Structure 1
Amino acid sequence: MMPKFAGLFRFNGLLGLILMAIAPSLLAKESSWVLLVNQPDAKSILADDLVQIYMMRQRVWPSGEPIHVFRLPSRHPIHITFVKDQLDIETEELERVWSRLVFSGRGNPPRVVTTEGDMVRAVLSTPGAIGYVSYDLVRGIPDIYLRDIVR
């Protein structure tokens, strides 16, 4: 099955093969958001792990460092896109998951940051943090904080 963005590449020869090989890393750009991580050991994130992190089921990185999860407000367009595209659920369903965590005493929901600028500052200043912002916002953010999602 060809990726949905395969039609973007109408090149012949080696250049086309190279572009198709790197195309999966462009998914976040196509979805209009990008993942930010302040954890040097996490070179990429498995899609399933990302779901577990945002469902607050995975609380530590493989290194043992705690994961600090940040999110945008529920009605923010990037939050809605991230939840639907990456977590494959509706935002209301995710809110219910977080509410059950709180009411059962088993945990806390991700920390809400008001703006994407606040998200960048929070993730970059918090070791072990994870968050997401508009792809347009990543200009100027060091590549060390940007992560690919492996499916």
Structure 2
Amino acid sequence: MKLKLCFVTLTLMSHLAIADIAVIVHPSNANAMDASAISRLFLGKSKKFPDGTVAIPLNQAEASSATGLFNSKALKKSSSQLKAYWSKLVFTGKGTPPRSVESDIDVLDLVASNPNIIGYIDSAALTDKVKVLTTF
């Protein structure tokens, strides 16, 4: 019985450890972006895709596991670091954080309907309605 419990626990934990975050755009978006360019968009340092079109970054709710992974893997910041970062920019009038939605499904629907939106989801939620730029 202990062996089964140990196996189930390890299996569940290994799933969490290999979770990937996919950065997605509309299928018609021909831009290629590296991790640095993606980070600049989501930190408000850039407002355009490499081809010059307007980019609209889309976050998920702070409580989302995808958000935590994206923040740590792509932005290299913790939740508290990001709160401080955005508080400073908002207070000085130099920036506004990206709009947030509740779930992977919301991000998928919005990205699939607008070529200017860039978002991120758990890679397990991917569909053919969007194009993957990169995974973290």
- Alignment correspondent of 2:89: 101
Q: C-alpha deviations, 1:71-128, integer Å up to 9, x for none?
A: 0111211100111112111121112222222221122110000111111111121221
Identity %: 21
Tell whether the 8 Å contact from 1:45 to 1:149 is kept in structure 2 after alignment.
no
Shift of 1:135: 1.0
AA aligned to 2:30 is D
User: Which of these residues, 20, 30, 37, is aligned with residue 41 of structure 1?
Assistant: 30
Tell whether the 8 Å contact from 2:20 to 2:135 is kept in structure 1 after alignment.
no
Normalising by structure 2, what TM-score?
A: 0.77
- CA RMSD, 1 decimal: 1.9
Shift of 1:149: 5.8
User: Which of these residues, 92, 97, 102, is aligned with residue 114 of structure 1?
Assistant: 102
AA aligned to 1:109 is P
User: Which of these residues, 62, 73, 79, is aligned with residue 85 of structure 1?
Assistant: 73
Q: C-alpha separation between the residues in 1 aligned to 2:41 and 2:104?
A: 19
Unaligned runs of 5+ in 1: 1-29
Shift of 1:57: 0.3
Unaligned runs of 5+ in 2: 1-17
Q: C-alpha separation between the residues in 2 aligned to 1:123 and 1:97?
A: 26
| Structure 1: 4+ residue segments shifted above 3 A | none
Tell whether the 8 Å contact from 1:31 to 1:85 is kept in structure 2 after alignment.
no
Normalising by structure 1, what TM-score?
A: 0.70
Q: C-alpha separation between the residues in 2 aligned to 1:65 and 1:85?
A: 26
AA aligned to 2:62 is S
Q: C-alpha deviations, 1:19-74, integer Å up to 9, x for none?
A: xxxxxxxxxxx4422111136221x3211111111111011112221110100111
Q: C-alpha separation between the residues in 1 aligned to 2:118 and 2:132?
A: 10
- Alignment correspondent of 2:133: 147
Q: C-alpha separation between the residues in 1 aligned to 2:135 and 2:101?
A: 22
